[in-house]
Amino acid sequence: MPQNEHIELHRKRHGRRLDYEERLRKKQARSGHERAQKAKKLRGIKAKLYNKKRYSEKVEMRKLLKQHEEKEQKSTKEQPDQGAVPAYLLDRQQQTSGTVLSNMIKQKRKEKASKYQVPIPKVKALADAEAFKVVKTGKSRRKGWKRMVTKVTFVGESFTRKPAKFERFIRPMGLRFNKAHVTHPELQTTFCLPIVGVKKNPSSQMYTSLGVITRGTVIEVNVSELGMVTQGGKVVWGKYAQVTNNPENDGCINAVLLL
Amino acid sequence: MTSQYNFKRITVVPTAAELKEVVLSKTQRKTPTVVHRQYSIGRIRAFYARKIKFLQQTLHDKLTQIINEFPKLEEVHPFYSDLMNILYDRDHYKIALGQMNTARHLIDGIAREYVRLMKYGDSLYRCKMLKRAALGRMVKLLRRQKSSFEYLEQVRQHLSRLPSIDPGARTLILCGFPNVGKSSFINNVTRADVEVQPYAFTTKALYVGHLDYKFLRWQVIDTPGILDHPLEDRNTIEMQAVTALAHLKAAVLFVMDVSEQCDRSIEEQISLFESIKPLFVNKPVLIGLNKVDVRRRSDLPPEKEELLKKLEADNIPLIEMSTITKEGVLGLRDAACDQLLVQRVEQKLQAKKHVLGDGVLSKIFVAYPTPRDDRVRAAFIPESAAKKRINTRSGTTRDVIAEHRDERTRKLEREIELEMDDDYILDLKKHYMLRNDDEKYDIIPEVWEGHNISDFVDVDIEKKLAYLLEEERRLIEAGEYEDDLDSDDEETKDLLKTATKIKEKEDMRKLENWEKKVNSTAHHISRSIHRKRERTMSKLEQDLGELGMEVKAKRMKNLQTDSRRTPSAMKIRVGKSRSLSANRSVPRPEQGLPEPEKREAVRKLVKKTQRPMNRNARKGEGDRHIPDLMPKHLFSGKRKMGKTDRR
């Protein structure tokens, strides 16, 4: 024991109080009551946080209880000797109906999911007024033919702006993104991959040509990092992914890889 | 010096979850909470950007504090850096701190990025979502460092429990096999209370004790026992002992067990001694033969005696002792302390000698740049200087001076002095430049009647004097200095006379008071009392006598009553000095109960009544808690929720 652990040293030499165990037991018994009182008295944001934490604790407890209960059910069980069973059936164990049913349900669910080709099939149409903001130009600031894009955009590497006088759509630099967080649906891992281009924006063809990225847009990403190889032996370096969040609200582009 | 190695000042490192809670709730409390949709968009943006920046600042500060407070292994004494390496693994330690650093850097980056994006937020919802994303990302980074936080907290706890060993102080280190009696020795000699048990490796860490010898403070370090195997096989506990031996400049006391009760023979112990001998260079070594109460050195078989004699031949003193009967313990301590003192004093003297010998030259360091190519870059000396230098090397001082002389300068006084040697007298008036050369050696005063003569020396002084005298004569003739036609009459003359008398009197009084004030060491009494005492009959007589009135005190009977009363002086207690007389006052318990038996009974009663209080672990009269009856947070401010009609 280190030299300055005085409490532990005293405990080692003189032991604990005579009624230590009893007091500890009583204190622990009281803890449930105290917790309940605290939960009743809390107000405001502290109450919200506490309730959230308590709920997750309870969820854990319930899961644990369920696990204990589940263990009693076995997926296979011995078939009782009802009449003669042929030799080739002697060692086989019948699957109980419980597991059969659950397997069937899981299979159906998987099929249902794979019916849709794209994770987000339908998307609300994006209005022009929402995507563009009018920028007034001219000497007396009366002309309103310029528009600034308020959504996240992707411009290619070789992009150069048109001369400012002729530029109709302004894509601000702060809203230009080059990388997307792409999730592989089977591996369930997310990679940060560079964007190659915008394939299709479901709202309008104009947005596609401008490179506006909103929820549901199909983009092409550079997957050479993943090291995918085709059947013929060629390296796959570009794949499509669909954007699953609102990038202008979150500050990042989250997408799901379309296999 | 010791305070530098006090690692108890490091603040607690919170876990990742705690830090997240603390930081988020702080942001919620310390930034404005209300914003509406109809505010101007600039105001909304500023509101949310402030929250992001606040969180970034708070996290930055907290992480900086953690990083700065942990000691850097390079800046700490090598003993401590080695010890920390053994206990905490230097790589792991550095990586943990490095991760804190990167986390801090990343948090700054996130905050910057989202504040930039906030400028494009055109609705409250969008700004709010951006703020939510920013805070979430910053806090997520903390979750990734969870293990680093835990590790650093454990390191901090262990560091704060390390014994505070001052690497520069006088130290004695005890080493030897396990169970030979090192901890018993330190318990004997210092006030440290180290565990002593019959099993090996009772001591698992370094322990420090302090002792006083020859009016100086000494540290005694007890180490865990070392086993005899090569360095690579040593475990953490043994490595601590080895580190202490390696880095601390101290006297080494190798403790041996002659009775072989520690399950190791004397040969094994000696072989251990030989194997760790390389650690003992430049340190005074002593061997303490412990447990002589069981078996004396004279009872040893001859082979073992021979081995011990071999050790003695190497100039290592062997001192017998027994920690149980305490014989020889103090002898060993004294011998070790003396040897170490001698060595330290020698070192200090050597260091000083070095300085005294060369003086300034030993303190000057000339740096030469490392040559980067073959070009010779010699120093540039102009030709004339080089010639002079060559010449001076040969001649004497006289010639040197003569060489350097210019044509216009005259012969130096120094040269003359060297020529004349003993006959030389310094005569500064030799070269005075005066109009009349034989006035050179005239004696003229410098100060006359309080005036500096050189102020008045002037070329035209005689002319000016004549002019002034002339002017004066003219004025006198014109009658400037005669009295006024309307001269004073009798009254005014008398007035003037009395005025001068009064002035004289005032001046005298002032002088008297000033004297009194300067010389008085008496107590300062209040003015009214002082004045009262002054008003005596004799003083009255004297004063009025000066003014010319005849007063007889005896005739003024009604004024005599005051003077009859003797002036009250301050009462000074005169008695025996404190040092001579003993303390006469009796302590209160004895005053109340003069009989010792009664006192004893009372004491026992007190203890008895205290026992049930202790058993119930309740508060007593002495455990006074002063509650805060009106805490500020309950009695001020608006209620967040609920009513304020009662508090």
pLDDT above 50 for B10: yes
| Interchain contact B196–A (C-beta under 8 A) | no
Q: Which residue pairs, CB below 8 angstroms and at least 24 apart, start in B413-418? A: none
Q: What is the pLDDT of residue B8?
A: 85
Does the distance separating the beta carbons of B640 and A43 come in below 8 Å? yes
pLDDT at position A212: 96
- The model's confidence at residue B575, banded by pLDDT at 50, 70 and 90, is low
Q: What is the DSSP string of B404-450?
A: H--SSS---HHHHHHHHGGG----GGGG---SSGGGTT----SEETT
3-state secondary structure at position B592: helix
Q: Which carries the bigger pLDDT value, residue B433 or residue B38?
A: B38
Closest to B560 in 3D by CA, of B540, B543, B546 = B540
β-strand partners of A235: A229
Specify the amino acid at residue B45: R
The stretch A247-257 carries a mean pLDDT of: 94
Mean pLDDT confidence for B534-538: 76
B319-334 residue pLDDT tens = 888 888 888 888 888 9
Q: Both tokens of residue A68?
A: 């204990």
What confidence tier does A77 reach under pLDDT thresholds 50, 70, 90? low
- pLDDT tens-digit map of A95-114: 667 788 888 888 888 777 66
Neighbouring residues of A180: CB distance < 8 A, sequence distance ≥ 6: A192, A193, A194, A195, A219, A221, A241, A243, A252, A253, A254, A255
The CA–CA distances, whole Å, from A144 to A165, B395, B523 equal 13, 98, 95
Give the separation between CA B385 and CA B390, rounded to whole angstroms: 9
Confirm or reject contact between B208 and chain A (CB < 8 A). yes
Check whether B407 has a pLDDT greater than 60: yes
**B129–A3 C-beta distance less than 8 A:** no
- B119 Cβ partners below 8 Å, 6+ apart? A174, B45
Q: For B161, name the nearest residue in chain A, comparing CA atoms only.
A: A4
Burial bucket for residue B486 (CB in 10 Å: 0-12, 13-18, 19+): exposed
Q: Do B117 and A150 touch (CB under 8 A)?
A: no
pLDDT, residue B1, reads: 41
CA–CA dist B563, A42 (Å, integer):
84
Nearest one of B572, B575, B577, B573 to B523, comparing CA atoms: B572
Please tell me the predicted confidence (pLDDT) of residue B2.
39
- Per-residue CA distances from B178 to B295, B567, B631 (Å): 19, 85, 57
pLDDT beyond 60 at B65: yes
Backbone angles phi, psi at B446, to 5 degrees: -100, -35
Listed range (A205-209, B260-264, B606-610) with the worst mean pLDDT:
B260-264
B546 lies within 8 A of chain A by CB: no
Q: Residue A134 and residue A144: Cα distance in Å, rounded?
A: 6
d(CA A101, CA A99): 5
- The pLDDT tens digits of the residues spanning B37-55 come to 999 999 999 999 999 999 9
Q: Between β-strands A179-184 and A254-257, what pairing exists: parallel, antiparallel or unpaired?
A: parallel
The residue assigned the tokens 């027994």 is: B322
User: Quick one: closest CA in B to A252, which residue?
Assistant: B133
Q: Is B111 on the interface with A (CB under 8 A)?
A: no
| Residue among B30, B106, B115, B117 with most chain A CBs within 10 A, to mutate | B117
pLDDT more than 90, % of chain A: 57
- CB contact under 8 Å between A3 and B195, yes or no, is no
Cβ–Cβ gap A150/B120 under 8 Å: yes
CA dihedral A62, A67, A73, A76 (to 10 degrees): 150
Residue A228: phi and psi, rounded to 5, are -85, 140
| Residue B385 pLDDT | 82
What mean pLDDT, rounded, does chain B reach?
84
Residue B281: pLDDT band with limits 50, 70, 90: confident
Least CB–CB distance from B130: residue in A17, A44, A251: A251
pLDDT reading at A115 higher than 60: no
Å between B645 CA and nearest CA of chain A: 18
Sign of the dihedral through C-alpha A159, A162, A167, A172: positive
Rounded Cα distance, B41 and B51, in Å: 16
Of B28, B114, B641, which is closest to A43 when you measure between CB atoms? B641
Residue B548 · residue B505 · CB < 8 Å? no
The pLDDT confidence band at residue B576, using thresholds 50, 70 and 90, is: low
Whether the pLDDT of residue A116 is over 60: the answer is no
Express each pLDDT in A25-45 by its tens digit: 999 999 999 999 999 999 888
pLDDT at residue B569 is higher than 60? no
Q: Tens digits of per-residue pLDDT, B411-431?
A: 788 888 888 888 888 888 888
Shortest CA distance from B205: residue in chain A = A2
In the sheet that B251-257 helps form, which strands lie side by side, from edge to edge?
B207-213, B216-222, B171-175, B251-257, B285-290, B318-320
> Which of helix, strand or coil describes residue B121?
coil
Q: What pLDDT band is residue B230 in, cutting at 50, 70 and 90?
A: confident
- Percentage of chain A lying above the pLDDT 70 cut: 88
- Asked if residue B327 lies in contact with residue B292, where contact means CB atoms within 8 angstroms, the answer is yes
Query: What average pLDDT does range B503-510 have in this prediction?
Result: 93
Residue A208 pLDDT > 60: yes
Q: List B553's β-bridge partners, or say none.
A: none
User: How much is the pLDDT for B257?
Assistant: 87
pLDDT at B568 over 60: no
Give yes or no for B161 touching A (CB within 8 A): yes
Residue B580 pLDDT exceeds 70? no
Query: Of the candidates A2, A43, A174, which has its C-beta nearest B120's C-beta?
Result: A174
For A227, which DSSP code? T
Nearest chain B residue to A17 by CA distance is B615
- Quick one: what percent of chain B has pLDDT higher than 70? 86
pLDDT tens digit sequence for A150-204 = 999 999 988 888 898 888 999 999 999 999 999 999 889 999 999 999 999 999 9
pLDDT class of A216 with cuts at 50, 70, 90: very high
Which pLDDT value is given to residue B3? 42
pLDDT of B94 reads 95
Number of DSSP helices (H) and strands (E) in chain A, helices first: 7, 8
Overall average pLDDT of the B75-89 stretch: 89
Q: What is the pLDDT of residue B180?
A: 86
The position carrying tokens 């009583």 is A26
How far apart are the C-alpha atoms of B527 and B303, rounded to whole Å? 97
